[in-house]
Amino acid sequence: MRQLIVSEFLTLDGVVEAPGGETSHRHAGWTMPYGSDDLFAFKLQETRDADSLLLGRRTFEQFAEAWPPREGEFAEKMNAMPKTVVTTRTDELGWNATRLETAAGVREGVDALKEGDGGPILVAGSATLARSLLVWGLVDELRLLVYPVLVGGGTRIFPDDRSKWSYELAGLQRFSSDAVLHVYRLARS
């Protein structure tokens, strides 16, 4: 079975919205002051280790606009990696992407993707999708890259349905910029 990894940039107040300068939040770009060589090296390795991306439509569209004109190893991997997109739109996706087969539902489509051949599947951003994957218990590893900033509200990935989920801390890494990576795995009872 393929491993499903959700990797998110997160503020101290739990916001995942607009980390890179998207126009949806008045404090967009909140990750930018905390970039560091060791953090960039981690993100590059995370991308190298992934076999494919699973993305929500909005994140896919943002990535498909941002990455093709860029150069370097990270951009080459992002551009070449197969992408599966959760969307109801029927227009051509391009950028090495296919639609998630969802005839039976998104949850079942992701289950089938995990049962397929290949290595780790990385979900980057895609807040709505990440929230659903967490609720469905489909996330094998949750990587929260927490930045030392509060932005006073915005989109979050954590469901507000009062369910309880237990995770085990699998890793912790502090970067020179004071961002901290928390790696969690769903506790199996």
Per-residue pLDDT of the chain (189 residues; tens, 9 = 90+): 999 999 999 999 999 999 987 888 888 899 999 999 999 999 999 999 999 999 999 999 999 999 999 999 999 999 999 999 999 888 889 999 999 977 778 999 999 999 999 999 999 999 999 999 999 999 999 999 999 999 999 999 998 877 888 899 999 999 999 999 999 998 876
Give CA–CA dist 77/149, Å, rounded: 29
Whether this model's pTM surpasses 0.85: yes
pLDDT of residue 25: 86
pLDDT of residue 189: 63
3-state secondary structure of 34: helix
CB 102 within 8 A of CB 35: no
